[in-house]
Amino acid sequence: MVMKLPYLGSCLFLVFFSLVSIVASGSGKGLPILSFDEGYNQLFGDDNLVIHRDGKAVHLSLNERTGSGFVSQDLYLHGYFSASIKLPADYTAGVVVAFYMSNGDMFEKNHDEIDFEFLGNIRGKNWRIQTNIYGNGSTSAGREERYNLWFDPADDFHQYSILWTASNIIFYVDNIPIREFKRTAEMGGDFPSKPMSLYATIWDGSDWATNGGKYRVNYKYAPYVAEFSDLVLHGCAVDPIEFSSKRCDGTQSFQLTTSITPSQRSKMDSFRRKHMTYSYCYDQTRYKVAPLECVINPREAERLKKFDPVTFGGGRRHHGKRHHHMQASRSEADSI
Ligand SMILES: *[C@@H]1O[C@H](CO)[C@@H](O)[C@H](O)[C@H]1NC(C)=O
């Protein structure tokens, strides 16, 4: 995440945490949906954030003046976080919508982050999504993956969810797991392990979002409006002032379902075969040797290589690509 967020206060806090147990059925069904005022605060963007009359759905818009965003009132250590999101339609190059967890405002040098980033596109091309993870300031080691979707995310609401436990992180789209990131011993602090807030933002990513900044946001099509509903914050809240956990005090005891069932796993595999367009594990321009957590699948390597021989090996090199890749470690692939 490139965006710098307003400073919300610093506290060096020790979290003595009794994680009673959290539940996230992975499906998100039946989980409590907080109204905006109960769970979130506006982060920026003045009246570009609009709360709907039911108090539960929110519009975030981007115009020539500003983007907008909101943040959870609480910090969470682990949990299930979800939103139904409808992205702006039509020409959206350079527009970035992000749904993510971070503690970058408290830990400037060693923050953690779990990202869903939606990258707008030129007319006729769908949005693409990117997932990424940073732990303890591991920003030099990007762990991006990018995908296209099996639907047009601007047509209707779809559910995007993050499950974060002490041992793994799972990203879901419409309850289908699309990525599982497991904690390994070698990873050390690179696995997110400090409490984070949940954020949703829309902003102008002209400088990096579409083809390395080739297509900029065109404000002729503004405002760009992203709609959010069914916001679920289901984890152990850690109050940064009281240093205590409010929602895991026994009255609501939860249980985390952290594993992926065989049928979900086969859906995940199929999704990744059909829709993954980039994985850091196979990016030979960035990693001569793939990071240790990567399990290299030769068929996957072949498939990605056909898709982009420059990045994934075996091909000619475009002029100037090196430079872009440094910068683009957190941005979109070079091909649309
Ligand atoms: C996280 O980063 C800090 C500061 O760079 C370091 O002191 C600490 O050991 C790291 N923690 C882990 C678990 O690697």
C-alpha of residue 228 to centroid of ligand 1, in Å: 35
Report pLDDT for 7: 38
Annotated catalytic residue within 113, 144, 227, 332: 113
Residue 165: pLDDT over 70:
yes
Catalytic residue among 38, 117, 227, 300: 117
| Confidence category of residue 258, pLDDT binned at 50, 70, 90 | confident
Ligand 1 site, residue 108, Cβ cutoff 6 A: no
The atom of ligand 1 lying closest to the CA of 193 is: 13
- Greater confidence (324 vs 175) lies with 175
Closest residue to atom 5 of ligand 1, CA basis = 110
Tens digits of residue pLDDT in 129-163: 999 999 999 888 889 999 999 999 999 999 999 99
Known catalytic residue at 113:
yes
Question: Has 117 been annotated as catalytic?
Answer: yes
Is 188 a pocket residue for ligand 1 (Cβ < 6 Å)? yes
Give the residue, out of 15, 110, 113, with the most ligand 1 atoms within 8 A of its beta carbon, to mutate for a pocket test: 110
For residue range 189-242, what is the model confidence (pLDDT) as tens digits?
999 999 999 999 999 998 876 666 678 999 999 999 999 999 999 888 886 666
Could you tell me the distance, in angstroms and rounded to a whole number, from the CA of residue 110 to the centre of ligand 1?
Answer: 7
Taking the domains of the chain in order of start, what are their residue ranges?
36-266
Ligand 1: centre distance to CA 13 (Å): 15
Q: What is the CATH number of domain 36-266?
A: 2.60.120.200
- For the CA of 136, the closest atom of ligand 1 is 1
- Ligand 1 and 110: CB distance under 6 A: yes
In the predicted model, is pLDDT for residue 254 greater than 90? no
SS3 of the chain: the string is: CCCCCCCCCCCCCCCCCCCCCCCECCCCCCCCCCCHHHHEEEEECHHHEEECCCCCCEEEEECCCCCEEEEECCEEEEEEEEEEEECCCCCCCCEEEEEEEECCCCCCCCCCEEEEEEECCCCCCCCEEEEEEECCCCCCCCCCEEECCCCCCCCCCEEEEEEECCCEEEEEECCEEEEEEECCHHHHHHCCCCCEEEEEEEEECCCCCCHHHCCCCCHHHCCEEEEEEEEEEEEEEECCCCCCECCCCCCCCCCECCCCCHHHHHHHHHHHHHHEEEEHHHCCCCCCCCCCCCCCCHHHHHHHHHHCHHHHCCCCCCCCHHHHHHHHHHCCCCCC
Cα of 130 vs centre of ligand 1, distance in Å, is 26
pTM: 0.84
| Confidence bin at 256 (pLDDT 50/70/90) | low
189 C-alpha to center of ligand 1: Å?
A: 6
